[in-house]
Amino acid sequence: MNPPGKPTALVTGSSRGIGREIAIHLARQGFNLLINGRHESDELKHTQQLVADTGAAVAACPFDISRIDEFDRILADLWGRFGGIDCLVNNAGISVRRRGDLLDVGPESFDEQIAVNLRGTFFLTQQVARRMVAQPTDRFRSIITISSSNAEAAASERGEYCIAKAGLSMLTKLFAVRLAGSGINVYEIRPGLIRTSMSLVAQARYDTLIEAGFSPINRWGEPADVAGPVASLAGGTMPFATGEVLHLDGGLLIPRY
């Protein structure tokens, strides 16, 4: 059981990259952490140690977000051991296996994107929300979903990814409306170009775009550029806002002439 009085956050996909940085920032802000990866790994253990080094209580709970049939068992265990979850950060996600022509997208790639990036996130959010609603508290509670600038900006070479991320935008609005009466705030974060293993597969292309003036704040974003605002939202700095989108993209989506 976590120390009394401290909120608990579950961050999916926190074995590395943006998720790892979010977990560390939340720990520094006073949260105890449930960290997640698809399976047990050295990367997940490393995140666990980094979070523990902040003084926060931390437990690793590896599970595959696409295996929605396991959520009830997993969450029942987490609720029993930690007394509840005050903040869910939906960060887990995958990129397309191969970028290419939209006209060549096959059902396997499309279904994989929906299963992991949208379907799994929806049903995990639903399960957590049910338990939150059934367990009122005076603590600030939130659900924060990491989508992408591609929820708005079309990238036809990975169209199935864009479609899944666009679905997360509506997910945010729907849960914001449903959960507001229970005191649960819901937000969407849209990162732009962030330096992670997912984006570095196209590093040369993005380096060239940056040289040409890719965005007003013309540089690679770092995981900390996302993690800081997520921790701020989870801490209750915007209690009168819900269903809102925060663009963390260096101004990439500002219309320009």
Q: What is the tens place of the pLDDT at every residue in 145-198? A: 999 999 999 999 999 999 999 999 999 999 999 999 999 999 999 999 999 887
Residue 202 has pLDDT above 60, yes or no: yes
Q: Mutual orientation of helices 17-28 and 42-52 as an angle, nearest 10°? A: 20
What is the distance between the alpha carbons of residues 60 and 68, in angstroms, rounded to a whole number? 18
**pLDDT for the residue 188:** 98
Phi, psi of 138 (to 5 degrees): -85, -10
Phi, psi of 39 (to 5 degrees): -155, 170
Concatenated DSSP letters for 40-90?
--HHHHHHHHHHHTTT--EEE----TT-GGGHHHHHHHHHHHHS--SEEEE
Confidence band for 2, pLDDT divided at 50, 70 and 90? very low
The answer regarding whether domain 8-248 maps to CATH 3.40.50.300 reads no
Residue 219 has pLDDT above 90, yes or no: yes
Confidence band for 4, pLDDT divided at 50, 70 and 90? low
Q: pLDDT > 70: what percent of the chain? A: 98
Identify whether 257 is a catalytic site residue.
no
Burial of 7 (0-12, 13-18, 19+ CB in 10 A): buried
Burial 160-199 (b: 16+ CB within 10 A, else e): bbbbbbbbbbebbeebbeebeeebbbbbbbbbbbbbbeeb
